[in-house]
């Protein structure tokens, strides 16, 4: 064997030992290091859980108080609107004549719902209902309120009706 052959054999065996050493020990060490880093990251996440739970509980109480303040339950907005109008009608001696289906329009990336309904009663009560819906209950804005005097030919009685259009942009 010549010196060149010895050097070539030495070089090939050296690289062989390096590759063998990598596969037997270094690759295992690298995978264990990656596993260790993942476990450390999970440990940090689990350490923050009690604090995050406390913050979430505070947020839940805050949102529940907002829902209670604005009298919003888990039912739809239309049901809540009707419930608010009915409560006001009972308190102020007005009558709900009609409540139509909402009209929805999707325009410029926003959905606009319009709710049309008609009530009958005295002028101040109907105007108070408009104030109640727009300012206190925050259901949307009263887009239109039209008053109409209607005479009942059967009874000869004149009543005042208000036609509301309440609009909510979402």
What's the rounded Cα separation, in Å, for the pair 29 and 43? 21
- Provide the CATH topology of domain 74-168: Alpha-Beta Plaits (3.30.70)
CA distances (Å), origin 50, targets 39, 59, 61, 64: 19, 14, 17, 21
In tens digits, the chain (170 residues) has pLDDT values of 889 888 899 899 988 888 887 777 777 888 889 999 999 998 888 888 888 889 889 988 988 887 777 666 545 778 878 888 888 888 888 888 888 888 888 888 888 888 898 999 888 888 888 888 888 777 778 888 888 888 878 888 888 889 988 888 77
- Domain positions in the chain are 74-168
Say which residues have a Cβ less than 8 Å from residue 35's Cβ, sequence separation at least 6. none
Pairing of strands 110-120, 141-151: unpaired
pTM of the model: 0.53
Please tell me the total number of residues recorded for the chain in this structure.
170
Cβ atoms of 90 and 53 within 8 Å: the answer is: no
């Amino acid at each position: 064997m010549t010196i060149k052959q010895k050097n070539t054999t030495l070089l090939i065996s050296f690289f062989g030992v390096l590759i063998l050493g990598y596969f037997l020990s270094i690759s295992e060490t690298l995978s264990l290091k990656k596993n260790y880093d993942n476990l450390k990251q999970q440990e940090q996440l689990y350490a923050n859980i009690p604090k995050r739970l406390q913050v979430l509980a505070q947020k839940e109480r805050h949102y529940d108080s907002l829902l209670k303040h604005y009298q919003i339950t888990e039912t739809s907005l239309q049901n809540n609107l009707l419930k608010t109008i009915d409560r006001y009608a009972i308190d102020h001696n007005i009558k709900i004549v009609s409540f139509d289906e909402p009209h929805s329009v999707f325009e410029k990336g926003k959905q606009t719902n319009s709710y049309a309904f008609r009530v009958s009663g005295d002028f101040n009560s109907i105007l108070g209902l408009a104030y109640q819906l727009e300012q206190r209950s925050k259901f949307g804005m009263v887009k239109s309120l039209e008053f109409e005097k209607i005479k009942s030919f059967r009874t000869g009685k004149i009543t005042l009706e208000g036609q509301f259009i309440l609009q909510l942009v979402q």
